[in-house]
Structure 1
């Protein structure tokens, strides 16, 4: 699934401005991957789920990288967190692990 966005140059400019303002200049973001994840979660759960999902994925990836769990690079930490979010979103707002419990997941 590819997100076609006529505003891609604006998003690139915004990303550059925002990373500079947040002083995370070395961060490289796959904008299309983030947009696809947001679109997937929004479609599977609700419109607001896209923003929340991308925030939580970024936060989880930051924790993973800061803790250097299993020597993950930031890119791998984002991919792993995004994969978890995609699997969870496939069940929509209900079902999945929530309905059967998280005991076997280490949560």
Structure 2
């Protein structure tokens, strides 16, 4: 991982774009700065992986307020988590990324 702040911000933006496309939530604007700050604060006050847990719980709560009824909340979370884990295996070089734009992508894989 790079230590250049501009490169980190660009990578986070690319990752957010790739993940929201894979999960077919194209209208979502991810506030990376807020999530990073939430993570930092949670880790400072709680420790360990509290930032990760905090980001998840915030996302889950937001998702509950927007549940479409197609799936239960647990199924929607599991489906999103499975996709995120799959993407995390290859990071920004995975299907749907700019580097792999000729691939069919994730169009039909999300909830």
Q: TM-score range by the shorter chain?
A: 0.5 to 0.7
State the superposition RMSD in angstroms: 1.9
In structure 1, C-alpha distance between the alignment counterparts of 2:65 and 2:26, rounded to whole Å: 19
Runs of 4+ in 1 over 4 A off after TM superposition: none
TM-score, normalization by structure 1: 0.54
In structure 1, C-alpha distance between the alignment counterparts of 2:5 and 2:42, rounded to whole Å: 17
TM-score, normalization by structure 2: 0.53
Aligned position for 2:75: none
* Greater relative contact order structure (CA < 8 Å, 6+ sep): 2
Unaligned segments of structure 2, at least 5 residues:
69-111
In structure 2, C-alpha distance between the alignment counterparts of 1:47 and 1:63, rounded to whole Å: 26
Cα deviations across residues 55-85 of structure 1 (Å, max 9, x unaligned)?
0011011112338xxxxxxxxxxxxxxxxxx
